[in-house]
Structure 1
Amino acid sequence: MAGNTSVPGASVVARTIALLSAFDEAHPRLTLTELSRRADLPLTTAHRLVSELTRAGALSKTANGDYVVGQRLWQLGVLAPVQTDLTRVASPFLHDLYAGTLATVHMAVRDGLKVLYLDRLSGQRSVPVVSEIGSRLPLHATGVGKVLLAHTSEALQHKALASLERVTPYTITQPALLKAQLERVRVDGYATTYEEMTLGQCSVAVPIFRDRTEVVAALGIVVPSLKRDKPRLVSALQVAAHGIGRSLSGRG
């Protein structure tokens, strides 16, 4: 919830952002009452702002009266540089990676204590996954998330280690154990998960560097098992990540 938006003096922009921020992966559809509660706004204020946002196309009202994010917000969202530049550069490498593995391939960036998925390729032979383009999942329970967490500041790592939620029985929730894993990620150059996000699914991921120093994203593959193919998958990921990073560096 946004919080503090109901206090006198909160700007219209702050209240509007609070309303839009009420939507997330767990709440893609909300009633007016739910929007009011999650944005910490009086119902009358929420009604007025939601009506304006709906007229502008930022929100859309469904047949049963719920509200969803509108096409206008989607059109604006895809203009964000992290979406357009990175996804455009990475696209051919992701397609080559998918063609060579037939596994679910995805690319993600860090968004606070979550991993935000920018692109995903999969097919009928790929293992089903919970990640979708635009979805946000826990850093500590995903391969791409562990990569991004391993290459972030100590302050953010400390914050993440203090709030480890269990997603499956195999999710790492012991701070000391996860911290040791993150150290290995920096040494080995890749991260793995074993049924930590979804039962029956394992993943391996590598960082994407720009100018060989800045980690701008992570590239990952989801498969049923890593017992036999981990070295091959790591190698394929690293080749693709190197190509993406080199292309990004060439663009300045």
Structure 2
Amino acid sequence: MPGPANLDTVLGKAVTILRSFRPEDQALPLAELVRRTELHKATVHRLAGELVANRLLDRVDSGYRLSGGLFELGMLASLERSLLEMAMPFLQDLYERTHETVHLGIRDGHDVVYVAKIGGHRQANAPSRTGGRIPLHCSAIGKALLAYSDPELQREVLSAPMARRTPHTVVAPGILRKQLTKVVETGVAFEREESALGITCVAAPVLGRDDEPVAAISVTGPTSRFRPEMHVSAVRAAAASLGSTYVRRDQLR
């Protein structure tokens, strides 16, 4: 997760207000923003008004909500935007082949951030959402990224406390290390009800120059009918094709 903002600065206080919103929030009253940020009520009221004026918040009857201006700024993020533009044809092809939920994710610190999610009428009830994040250790995308990351990052993740999100989450460093070795050997990572009960997943890394992990692609489905082993070839092919495209375009810059 992003570190706490500097509350000694106006910018830090404004960022704290924006970050106080959670995925399930539709709108927050002023009192709740004050409670979550622990800032003075007058400060929150003044800064929220400035955020509204700059289209980063909207003022609604029930309080404040995040504005479309934030979405516009997010879509200008150069790496994610260019990667998403390159990836979308491969993600759509993978969805057409599997008709299961398809994800594209990148690493941010010790988390996966989902850049894209494609799902149809049969999509799994997964906790993922575009722009959301989940720890590296409990997702197939996270394991795919971590397996190809530098040894220092692997040591950081394996030595830090790993949250147990379900009874199946792998939190033993030795077991996770063996899984990461297997990912490099096979080119795919699996998750079996480790981030949420009832879902299973297979992912493959998108590798750039020098086998640097740029992103990862996954296919997710419900454990009741989805067999991730059946989709290994399709996921691996999609990730490899995107990786080749990424390297070619990177060389032209």
TM-score by length of 2: 0.88
* Distance apart, 1:198 and its partner CA: 1.8
Q: Contact 1:202 / 1:224 at 8 angstroms: preserved in 2? A: yes
- Of 168, 172, 175, the residue aligned with 1:174 is 172
Equivalent in 125, 128, 151 of residue 128 of structure 1? 125
Letter in 1 for 2:125: P
Q: Is the 8 A contact 2:95 2:118 kept in 1?
A: yes
Which residue, 1, 4, 12 being the options, matches 1:2? 4
- In 2, Cα distance between equivalents of 1:117 and 1:129: 12
**2:203: which partner in 1?**
205
C-alpha contact (below 8 Å) 1:203/1:226 kept by paired residues: no
Answer yes or no: is the 8 Å Cα contact 1:127–1:223 preserved in 2.
yes
1:91 CA displacement? 0.5
Taking only the aligned residue pairs, the percentage that are identical comes to 36
**Cα pair 1:3 1:39 within 8 Å, conserved:** no
Residues 112 and 226 of structure 1, relative CA distance in 2, 3 Å threshold: farther
> Aligned partners of 1:59, 1:119: CA distance in 2, in Å?
24
Q: Tell me the matched-pair count.
A: 247
C-alpha distance 103-194 of structure 1, shift in aligned 2 (>3 A):
same
SS of residue matched to 1:130: coil
Does structure 1 conserve the Cα–Cα contact (< 8 Å) formed by 2:145 and 2:205? yes
Give, as a single letter, the amino acid of the residue that structure 2 aligns with 1:22.
S
The CA distance in 1 between the partners of 2:241 and 2:227, in whole Å, is 21
Distance 2:68 2:130 in 1: 16
Contact 2:202 2:229 survives alignment (8 Å): no
Which amino acid counterpart does residue 102 of structure 2 have in structure 1?
V
**2:97 aligned partner:** 100
RMSD: 2.3
**Contact 1:143-1:205 at 8 Å conserved across structures:** yes
Distance between the aligned counterparts of 1:89 and 1:226, measured in 2?
A: 33
Partner of 2:55: 57
93-102 or 231-240, which moves further after superposition? 231-240
Q: Distance in 2 between the 1:170 and 1:197 partners? A: 8
Q: Name the CA distance, whole Å, in 2 between partners of 1:227 and 1:59.
A: 42
Q: 1:142 aligns with which of 139, 142, 145?
A: 139
Q: Is the 8 A contact 1:36 1:46 kept in 2?
A: yes
- Residues of 1 paired with 2:178 and 2:225: CA distance? 21
Shift, 1:62, TM fit: 3.3
Alignment of 1:177-192 (within 5 A): 177-192=175-190
Q: 1:215 to 1:170 in 2, by over 3 A?
A: same
- Please tell me the residue identity of whatever aligns with 2:218: G
Change (3 A) 1:179 1:37: farther
Whether the 8 Å CA contact 1:212–1:245 is kept in 2: the answer is: no
**Match for residue 87 of structure 1?**
84
Q: Distance in 2 between matches of 1:80 and 1:226?
A: 38
Query: For the residues of structure 1 that align with 2:28 and 2:51, how far apart are their CA atoms?
Result: 14
Pair 62,111 (structure 1): closer, same or farther in 2 beyond 3 Å: farther
Report deviation, 1:173. Answer: 1.8
Shift of 1:40: 4.3
- Matches of 1:240 and 1:178 in 2, distance apart? 25
User: Which one is further off, 173-182 or 24-33?
Assistant: 24-33
Partner of 2:242: 244
Taking the aligned partners of 2:244 and 2:39, their CA distance within structure 1 comes to 47
Shift of 1:170: 0.9
Structure 1: which amino acid aligns with 2:188?
Y
Please say if residues 140 and 189 of structure 2, whose CA atoms lie closer than 8 Å, have aligned partners that are also in contact.
yes
Secondary structure of the equivalent of 1:108?
strand
Letter in 2 for 1:199: L
Cα deviations by residue, 1:157-185 (Å, 9 ceiling, x for unpaired): 33333221111111112222222222222
